Every structure is written in structure tokens, then in C-alpha cells.
Chain A
């Protein structure tokens, strides 16, 4: 029905050219980054288990180090994506064809 709302598109292509492919993998990485960050930031939950203690300075350095790394990674992804957005057509990650395969 909404399918009547929008004209049915032709199926997305099975294979992508190399640049679009790279771009999509980059988006995948960008999507995974917060998951990784969350996991690393959940490590503090394990501190203090079994009566052992962690020094505040060590804890602070750990949390901020992750922060800096995440920011750096996000900046790299964002800048690379920004460059490829100029050259490659804006791809849509939601319609990514499941049948998409690497272009070997």
C-alpha cells in the first residue's frame, strides 16, 4: 500500500562498484563504533568485584583514553565518509541489498 504510495523501485543492484562498496563498509564500521565504545565503557562495572580496588587516576585514564580513541575513530570515519559523499552517490544504508556480495 504505501507501496502504492511510492512507485516500486527496481531492485537494488546485486554488485556495487568498488567505491560504493568501500563506503558501505565504512558505514558499517561507523555503526559498530558506538557498540564497541559501550562495551569498553561497561568495563568499569567489573571494577571493585572481589574487594579489589582500582585507583581513581587509573580509572580516569582508562575512560578518557577510550573517549579519545572513539573520537579519533569517529573523526576518521566522518571525514572519509564526507569525502566519498562528494564523489560517490549518497548511498542508502537502509536499502542495502541483503544479497550484496563483495566484488571479487
Chain B
């Protein structure tokens, strides 16, 4: 028979071994020879802390009581692991890229680094984990009690629990807080629990193999005896089968200790990939021999033996002391590994979300630069570990280690699963908000407390019996086991359904109606699309941060060496001399993330925020960005409009410039024309006057001829000057009209007579229509006559027909009087028609003695008289039409 002392010796040796393993692993990791520590196998084995002493011992008890139902606790996690592509992969990615340190940190970080949420999840985890730790202590105590002689059991039990708790606290403090960065791997711890998981699997398999082959005579015999036993008929509670499978699957994702080993300690996808099949394999092996052991226990042990201890008592009853000790060590391993990791996980949460924020607050503003945060973080984490274990021990002592504790496993599962809606919502739904998460968690937590946790202590212990019978405040629909009047449910399933369902509904509804803060939206985008944007969230907009202050703060959290290396590396990256980089948003982000690995996202954010001065992104910033965009768009639209207008103006300017150029050319042409016109008569006048002056022997006849030439030329000059003056006056609008009334026919008579006055040679025949010409007109008759004279003399000069004739046609149409002068010549060439009214425009080469001003003057006159002169292109010869408003004519009647 193994004595307690022998057992204690074994246990101590085993613990010594674990310390050694952890120590060697830490040393190897520190020396950079720790590749094997990151092996996927080690990772998978570390996951096996899922199998606690509760499952190590309790599974057999559960099998005795409810048949195969114990399997659900393993089936759920197996499915979640096999389906790692759905959730786990993303969870692990987020955990790595955001340097998540715990479940609380994940939720807090996702929902805008809200510490309130972090505190909420921490409390939930603490409430859920403490009884669980107590349960482990109880199982170790019970297993020790199996070896104890009657009488010393109770006493030994209490001592055992205390020693175990103290030993675990020591181990966890030593190996669980070696790194300040909680996001880094705890190599020692991971290696130790990997060894422990090998021990517990070996122990359970050894007992199973012994039972199957040593007691029952092989596989065939075992199957026969199973069918023949009490468990032979499958008793299946369908609701619990499904519910517990789901529950254990959910718990795998949410349990703080599982999150610690699965997400926080994870290094690579390869680890998860191997674990996806290796961990289900481990679970399968753990549950393989449970039923044979249960059947053997039922057969071999006296009725009333505690089925929860069959794993120990069956080997003992067969005299297999060594096997029993191995089995004890297996159970011990299960208990200790769970407690160690749970203590690390929960203490990280307590330290980062409760102790550190409180400490920061008590130090007031500027706290981040005064005092050694590094030591404070370490101390707070160590104290938290001790505190968590102490709580567990006290819980064990006060609860008395009764049956209430045995049910706490599933109760704890339901409690911690309340995190799931906020977690999954945060990972996959960008619309999930801080308000929604807080509301959902609160509803779930309260329902869990009321319907499961408090009732689990038994009727009348915490909740009065009246509450169970009549409901809270006597409201029947508030009975803890029949919420909303839904009776007849299994209490666990009842609580699970209501708490998770209402939690999820509240989370969803509150998320829908609330509006997330900018930081929350940035984080949400990061988490949901983690595979697309592995980069950091840009939540710092940069500002006048004192980089020295940042440096001091970082030194106090990370330690001088690491902080200086970090800053120097950043300075190099920014291409700066010296060791102090610019506090760029990128750098602030990196720094915050680095710090969050040590003190949690919310605290790191707050600390950086204190120094940077709240330059964190705000709604206003986001709106300013949006405004800027809008302004840019408006500005560019304005620019576009302006450039269009400029283009239009440029086109106008170009055409104006063209016109000016044309005018300038015209002016030059005019000047050269006029000087030419003036010089020709001048030349002859000068020449002949010189002859007259110098010619003594000049005959009187010749002198008279020369004088008349001079006279003619002078006349021509005068006429030209008169014309020019006339045109100038007309063009400047300085002419005053001398309006008189007269008959058109008389005016024409006068004009023709005047035009023919100097007629010589061939006479121009003029065809007229006297009847039509009997029109009274009231206008400047002299000016009009001038126009007529000009047109008639033009016809006389330029008509190239053998028998030249001019037809004068008078008509009235549309309130206008038209007078057409049409000759029978060849007319004016089409290309010259638009210039004939210009000054000095002479179409024919024939020397006709005119200066080319006649038509220009005519047009000016007609325009002054309110009419219009035009060339008629559709007549045979040259045809001009003068149009005058008829009211001038009629008014005279």
C-alpha cells in the first residue's frame, strides 16, 4: 500500500521535474536554441490543458451516471479544431497581429480599446475561473484522500489543497511572469504543461489498457461486458447531447486558459494546422477507455464507491500500486497545468484591465513619466496570480468541497461562453459596437448568475428557496429554472439557451442602434478584414508628442535596453541622426502595440494618449478628412469651370487679336494707299510747276496746257481730300443731316444730270420707270443724291458692255423702299464683292481716276440715313441696291 509520504515524495519529485523542464526550456529559449519549443507538437500538447482534473477523474463518473454524455465535452472541441478554417485561424491571426494578451484584451481592443469592456470580461473570467481552480484543488485533495488511511483523510486534504495552491503559485510566479511582454511565449510554462499532458495521457491510457486487457480480457471481452453492464443500454438525452457539444465547442474558444495557450502563445499557422487534427486525436485517446474503466469500476468496486475516483480506485483494488501512482500523477498533472495557465491568463487580465488602470489613475496626469511602470506591471501580475490562486483556495475551503463543486465545470463553461457573441461578432461583423458588446455581455452575465451560477450552490444557500418556487419578487416568470414560464427544462440547458440567446440578441440589437466611435470603427475594420490588412490601425494622428517623454515611459515599461533599441531602430528607419525618432503616427502605433503586449491594449492606449495629449483620432478628425475630400472635389470642380472660362476668354481674345491684326493691316494699307493717292497728283503738280518756273522758252500754249494740268491735278487732290474728309466725318458720326422732302424722280434726275455732266465719248443709256419713281421721300436729299451720283458714275466708268446701259428699278416691299442700279456689264467678280465697300477698294485695273472711296462713302451715307446698300449677286451685271425705310418716304406725303 502506498503511503501518503511515498505519494508526497512522488509528487514532489514530479514537481521538481516540472520545474527542471521549465527551467531548461527557458534557458534554451533565451540562448536562441528553442526551435523545438515552437514545434507544433508542443503547441498541440499545451492545448491539452483543456482536459483538467475534472475531465481526468470526472469523465468516468459522468459515464457511470449518464452513459456516453461525457463524450460531448470532447466532441465539441474536436469539431471546433477540425473546423479551424472557420474561426480559429482568424482568431489566431488577430491575436498575433494585434498582440492580444487575453480574452478581455481581445474584446477591449476590438471595441475601441475600451477598458470598461476589458473589466467586464475580466470579472466574468474571474467569476468563472475561481470555482474551476477550486475544483482542481478539490480533485487533488480527493485523489490524495484515496491513498490516505481513514481518519487522516480530512486533515490531509486541507493541507494538500493549501500546499498545492502555494506550490502552483510559486511555479506560476516564477515561470509565468518571466517576460514582461505577456504576448510573448512562456516557454517554460508551455514546455512544462506539454510534459504534463503527456503524463496524463499516458496515465489514462495505462489504466485503460490495464482494465481492457488485464481485467476484462481483451477488446471482445470488454465490449461484451460493456453491453452486459448498467451502461449496456444507450440512454441518450438528445437535448443535453446537442447542447453540451455546442457548449464545449464555445467554451474552447472563450475559456481564458484555452485562449492563453491557443492564441496568445501561438507563433505560426503551422502550429494550428497540426493541432487541427492532433488535438482531436489527443481528445479521442483521452476518452477512449473511459467507458471500460467505468464498467470495470462498477463491477469490481463495492456499490456506493465514488465513480469520480474509479481511475484511481480500480488499479488500487487490483493491487496495481504503481499504476495507481501514475494515475495520481496524471490527475495531478491535469489539475496543476490547468491552474497554472488559468492563473497566468486571469492574472494578466486582472493586472492589465483592473490593477494597471487603477494605478495609472491614482498617479494622476503625468503618471506615465514618474515611477517605474516596469516593476509595477510585474508586481501587479505576480500579486494577481497569488490573488487568483488564493481566491480559488478560499472558494474551495468555503464551499466545503461538496457536490456543488462537481457541477461547477459546466456552470463555468456557460459563464465564460457569454463572451462568444461579442467575440465572434467582433471578428466577423463590422457593425458590432462597444455598446452592443457591453449590453450583450451584461445581459448574458446577469442571466447566467441568476439562472445557473447562484442556483448551483443549491436551493436556499444563496438564493432563498422562495425564489426557486415563486420567482424573484414573487414574479412567477422569473423563477431561475423556469424563466419566462418555460418549465421542464434541464437547468443547465435552460440557462445556456436563455443566457446565450438573449446575450446574442441584445448584442445584435444594441449594435444595430448604436454608433461606434472612430477608433472602434478602425479596429473593427482591422479585425474583420485581418487577412487583407495585416498592417496596424492608424489611430494616432501625430502631434507635438515629446519624444523624450515617450522614451522615458517606454524605458519604464520595457526596460532601458529594449526601449533604447526600439527607439534607435525607429530613428534609423526614419533616417535620423541620434537615437530619438520623430513621433510619427506610425511610430506611435508601433510603440503602442509593443506596450500593449505588456500592459494590454487599453492601458497602452491610455498611456501613449497621456503623453501625446489625446491626439488619438476623433470624430472631428474623421469628419475633417471627409470635409477635406469634399472641399477638394468642390475646388477641383471650380478649377474645371474656371479653366473652361479661361479657354473661352482665350478664344475671344484670340479672335479679338485676329481682328486687331486685320485692322492694323487695314490701317497700314490705308496709310500707304492714301499717301500714294496724294503723291500721284502732287508729283505731276510739282513737275509741271517746275517746268513753268524754269522754262523761259516755253510757248504760251504749252504754258497754258501745263497750268491746266496743274489745275486738274489740284482739283483731283481737293476732291480726294474732300472725299477723305467726308468719309472721316461720316465715320465719326459727326455729320448732321439736312432732312428735306422731295420726289425720288426729281432726285434721280438731278443725280443723273450731275453724273453725266462731264460725260464724253460713249453715252450711258439709262432706263427708268417714271411711275414707280413718283415717291415722296423725306431725307437728306443732297446726301442721297451723292450716293446716286456715285452709283451712276461708277456704272458709266466701269460698265464694260459694248452698249452700256443702266436700269434704275424702284420698288417697295416690306415697308422699305428699294432703289436698284443694274448695269449690263460683266459685274464684279465674286471674290471681290465683299471688299468693294471698303476704302480704296478698286476692283478693276482700269485707270478710272477714282480714289476708291466712292462706295465706302456711299455705304456710310446710306447707313446714316437708316438704310442699307448691298450688292445684288443674282443680277447679270453689276447691281447695287439701296434700301431705305419707307416711313421716311411716306411721312413726307
Contact = CB atoms under 8 A, between A and B. Distances in A.
A41 B234 contact: no
B67 to A, nearest CB: 7
A24 B528 CA distance: 20
Given A53-B234, A56-B233, A92-B531, A70 B280 contact: yes
Contacts of A72: 277
A64 B288 contact: yes
Given A70-B280, A78-B273, A81-B273, A57 B83 contact: no
Interface stretch (B235-243, B377-385, B876-884): B235-243
Interface residues of B, number: 55
B621 to A, nearest CB: 12
Contact of B227 (A45, A55, A71): A55
B622 A30 contact: no
Contacts of B81: 74
A9 B532 contact: yes
Interface string A53-85: 111110110011001101110110010011001
Interface stretch (B101-109, B203-211, B519-527): B519-527
Q: Which of A35, A44, A78, A81 has the most CB of B within 10 A?
A: A78
A78 B81 CA distance: 11
Nearest to A67: B284
Given A2-B521, A45-B236, A56-B233, A93 B68 contact: no
B812 interface: no
A37 B238 contact: no
B240 to A, nearest CB: 11
A94 B531 contact: yes
A50 interface: no
B232 interface: yes
B227 A57 contact: yes
Given A5-B525, A56-B227, A57-B227, A44 B236 contact: yes
A48 interface: yes
A57 B269 contact: no
Nearest to B232: A56
B83 A31 contact: yes
A59 B224 CA distance: 13
A94 B529 contact: yes
B78 A70 contact: yes
Interface string A86-104: 0000101111000000000
A27 B273 CA distance: 12
B245 interface: yes
Interface in A1-30: 1-2, 4-6, 9, 27, 30
B625 interface: yes
A64 to B, nearest CB: 7
B273 A82 contact: yes
A95 B531 contact: yes
B670 interface: no
A37 B227 contact: no
B234 A55 contact: yes
Nearest to A93: B85
A95 B529 CA distance: 9
Interface residues of A, number: 45
B531 A85 contact: no
B231 A56 contact: yes
Nearest to A2: B525
Given A78-B273, A82-B273, A63 B82 contact: no
Contact of A1 (B236, B291, B521, B535): B521
A53 B233 contact: yes
Contact of A6 (B78, B281, B524, B533): B533
A78 B277 CA distance: 8
B75 interface: yes
B473 interface: no
Contacts of B236: 44-45, 47-48
A86 B262 CA distance: 22
B430 interface: yes
B287 to A, nearest CB: 8
Contacts of A95: 531-532
A66 to B, nearest CB: 9
A6 B67 contact: no
B276 A78 contact: yes
B97 to A, nearest CB: 13
A31 to B, nearest CB: 5
A44 B68 contact: yes
B608 interface: no
B160 to A, nearest CB: 35
B394 interface: no
Contact of B274 (A78, A85, A90): A78
B253 interface: no
A64 B219 CA distance: 14
B234 A5 contact: no
B276 A41 contact: no
Given A31-B85, A85-B269, A1 B622 contact: yes
B277 A71 contact: yes
Nearest to B75: A41
Contact of B71 (A53, A63, A68): A63
Interface in B224-275: 224, 226-227, 229, 231-236, 238, 241-242, 245, 269-270, 273-274
Nearest to A85: B269
A5 B242 contact: no
Given A1-B622, A6-B529, A78-B277, 11 more contacts: A1-B521, A2-B430, A4-B625, A9-B532, A34-B80, A38-B79, A53-B233, A60-B226, A63-B71, A93-B85, A95-B531
14 contacts: A1-B521, A5-B533, A6-B525, A41-B245, A45-B236, A54-B234, A56-B229, A56-B233, A57-B223, A60-B68, A68-B284, A71-B82, A71-B277, A74-B81
